[in-house]
């Protein structure tokens, strides 16, 4: 089980981009499809203060990024010594 969890959906362009970034950098993560899991969709809404913005990427330090750019994701992963 990875200490990174990504909430997303297959139709989401930003989700596909973030998955590609994580995969190309050999970062292990749990992927939860909010379309297939209603409780995950509710969790995303809770995290984002009522918005259903995805992807949401949760980290072991208790922080998250919502709709991060590749640069922001890289910066966070470097801070966690994952890259």
pLDDT per position as a tens digit, 20-56? 999 999 999 999 999 999 999 999 999 999 999 999 9
* Percent helix, percent strand, percent coil in the chain, to nearest 5: 40, 15, 45
At residue 79, does pLDDT exceed 70? yes
> With 90 as the cut, is the pLDDT of residue 2 above it?
no
Domain boundaries along the sequence of the chain: 5-79
Scan for tokens 């992963």, then name that residue.
77
What are the tokens at 51? 């918005």
| pTM exceeding 0.85 | yes
pLDDT at residue number 1: 61
Share of the chain above pLDDT 70, in %: 99
CATH node for 5-79:
3.40.30.10
Q: At 23, phi and psi to the nearest 5? A: -60, -45
Strands (E), the chain: 5-8, 30-33, 56-58, 64-66
Give the Cα separation of 44 and 23 in Å (integer): 22
């Amino acid at each position: 089980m990875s200490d990174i969890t990504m909430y997303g959906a297959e139709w989401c362009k930003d989700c596909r981009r973030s998955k590609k970034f994580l995969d190309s950098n050999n970062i292990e993560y749990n992927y939860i499809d909010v379309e297939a899991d209603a409780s995950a969709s509710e969790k995303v809404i809770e995290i984002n203060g009522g918005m259903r913005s995805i992807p949401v990427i949760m980290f072991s330090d208790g922080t998250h990024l919502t709709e991060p750019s590749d640069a922001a994701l890289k910066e966070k992963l470097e801070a966690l010594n994952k890259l």
